[in-house]
């Protein structure tokens, strides 16, 4: 994705249909990204509403007439306006904290479509979720099951429960985002799941309603899902023999997106195989629950950043930009690849190789390495595929304010988060008397 020399024949960013070049300038929908950068400054997160809608529609088309609840995995991007858009589309939500539940409710989401995941739910979080009336708790340990039983009994409530089972399936993804192996902290080992379900059936304040599994993220192959599904189906049959009848099957999320040269898995390819497998085992009565996050928002966003200095050295050449690892953590955390495009590509000189690095005082503070770019100081770059696990993982390291967020809708745009100020950074802190 280097800058081409012929501005009249710029290739469109592959896989990102709502980010495109018009007259030699990168646009999101009908707006020039340079206009937004000039008006709001950088670093700046920019999202396409149309891209989100298109990603959502890919699931709707794949589901057809089947009984499926899509619960957006909001840890990918939890801005209130993004949640509001998913609520408007009819989405449920996969949450992992009381704070995320509060966001869903504030954005107009339906608590009855919320599944509460996460390995460390505290008692007060359980209380809030029970009071709100969430669809289900995805319980991840026997200890959590006992705590939930105690909390629900004390409140005089019946907690709907789905046990998250760890099937020991390799999702063939980065180890930090693989969650379905036996060495991972998530879920209950499938070998002991039947015993855990029988315990759940015997506990007061608990109602078994589902079976849950989530094997990882950025998955681009069908086979890991089907390997896990086969084990889940066998467990469902075993539980039925113990008088435990599952109402819904939650396959989690994890479908990947394009960052570089990946071929993302269309939801229809996965779901057609899942439906066929369920039908062949007589499980058509089950409601299917999905928890996609990255695949709904990842390619819908970019991070705009301005080149502050160019620093060629004997070993490497550095393009120092104003966005850092505090703004986009993924490269430092996962050594993740993000495409880099100049918003206004240059044709007056040839591209050379640059490491795009930030201003944070850490050697891990880089956004891209070894990229062929024709750039000068003051140019604005678009870091692609930043709609998921971008702003949501941002922090204030080096006392750096968090970026603003913009949602573009055709020719219009909305400020969905203002840029932080110094006053925001120190709010809640107190000097000693």
Per the annotation, where are the binding residues for substrate? 294, 330, 334, 362, 389
Tell me the C-alpha to C-alpha distance, in Å, between residue 423 and each of 321, 401, 428.
Answer: 24, 10, 10
> Exposed, middle or buried: residue 56 (CB in 10 Å: 0-12, 13-18, 19+)?
buried
**Contact present, 334 and 174 (Cβ < 8 Å):** yes
CA angle 86, 291, 237 (to 5 degrees): 140
- Residue 31 is encoded by which pair of tokens? 């707006």
- Catalytic residue status for 361: yes
86-106: b (≥16 Cβ within 10 Å) or e: bbebebbbbbbbbebbebbbe
Region of 24 (left: φ > 0; alpha: ψ -120 to 50; beta: rest) is left
Helix-strand-coil split of the chain, %, nearest 5: 35, 25, 40
Nearest of 370, 379, 360, 376 to residue 315 by alpha carbon: 370
**Contact present, 365 and 325 (Cβ < 8 Å):** yes
- Residue 340 is encoded by which pair of tokens? 């880099």
> At residue 126, what are phi and psi to the nearest 5 degrees?
-60, -40
Catalytic residue among 71, 136, 213, 361: 361
3-state SS class at 329: coil
Longest dimension (CA), the chain: 74
Tell me the C-alpha to C-alpha distance, in Å, between residue 196 and each of 22, 144, 202.
Answer: 58, 11, 10
- Residue 216 is encoded by which pair of tokens? 């990882």
What is the spatial distance between Cα 344 and Cα 10, in angstroms, rounded to a whole number? 11
Q: Which residues pair with residue 408 across a beta bridge?
A: 48, 413
**Contact present, 433 and 423 (Cβ < 8 Å):** no
Q: Which residues are annotated as a binding site for pyridoxal 5'-phosphate?
A: 254, 291-294, 389
What is the spatial distance between Cα 406 and Cα 269, in angstroms, rounded to a whole number? 32
Q: Which residues are catalytic?
A: 361
């Amino acid at each position: 994705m280097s800058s081409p020399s012929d501005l009249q024949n710029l290739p469109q960013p592959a896989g990102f249909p709502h980010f495109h070049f018009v007259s030699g300038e990168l646009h999101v929908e009908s707006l020039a990204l340079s206009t937004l950068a000039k008006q709001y400054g950088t670093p700046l997160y920019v999202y396409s509403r149309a891209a989100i809608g298109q990603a959502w529609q890919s699931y709707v088309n794949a589901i057809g007439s089947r009984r499926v609840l899509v619960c957006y995995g909001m840890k990918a991007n939890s801005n209130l306006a993004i949640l509001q858009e998913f609520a408007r589309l009819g989405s449920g939500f996969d949450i992992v904290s009381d704070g995320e539940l509060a966001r869903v409710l504030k954005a107009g989401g339906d608590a009855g479509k919320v599944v509460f995941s996460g390995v460390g739910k505290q008692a007060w979080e359980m209380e809030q979720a029970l009071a709100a009336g969430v669809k289900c708790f995805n319980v991840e340990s026997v200890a959590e099951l006992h705590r939930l039983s105690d909390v629900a009994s004390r409140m005089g409530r019946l907690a709907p429960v789905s046990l998250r089972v760890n099937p020991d399936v390799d999702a063939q993804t980065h180890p930090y985002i693989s969650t379905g192996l036996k060495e991972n902290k998530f879920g209950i080992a499938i070998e002991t799941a039947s015993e855990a379900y029988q315990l759940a059936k015997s506990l007061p304040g608990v109602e078994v309603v589902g079976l849950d599994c989530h094997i990882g993220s950025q998955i681009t192959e069908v086979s890991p899902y089907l390997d896990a599904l086969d084990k889940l189906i066998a467990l469902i049959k075993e539980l039925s023999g113990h008088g435990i009848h599952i109402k819904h099957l939650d396959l989690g999320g994890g479908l990947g997106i394009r960052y570089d040269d990946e071929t993302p898995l269309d939801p229809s390819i996965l779901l057609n195989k899942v439906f066929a497998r369920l039908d062949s085992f007589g499980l058509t009565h089950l409601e299917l629950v999905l928890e996609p996050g990255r695949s709904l928002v990842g390619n819908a966003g970019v991070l705009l950043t301005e080149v502050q200095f160019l620093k060629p050295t004997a070993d490497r050449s550095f393009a120092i930009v104003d966005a850092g690892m505090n703004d986009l953590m993924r490269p430092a955390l996962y050594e993740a690849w993000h495409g880099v495009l100049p918003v206004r590509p240059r044709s007056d000189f040839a591209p050379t190789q640059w490491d795009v690095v930030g201003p944070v005082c850490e050697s891990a503070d880089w956004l891209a390495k070894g990229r062929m770019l024709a750039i000068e100081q003051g140019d604005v770059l678009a870091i692609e595929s930043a709609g998921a696990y971008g702003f949501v993982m941002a922090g204030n390291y080096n006392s750096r304010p968090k970026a603003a967020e913009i949602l573009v809708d055709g020719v219009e745009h909305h400020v969905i988060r203002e840029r932080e100020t110094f006053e925001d950074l120190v709010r809640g802190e107190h000097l000693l008397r």
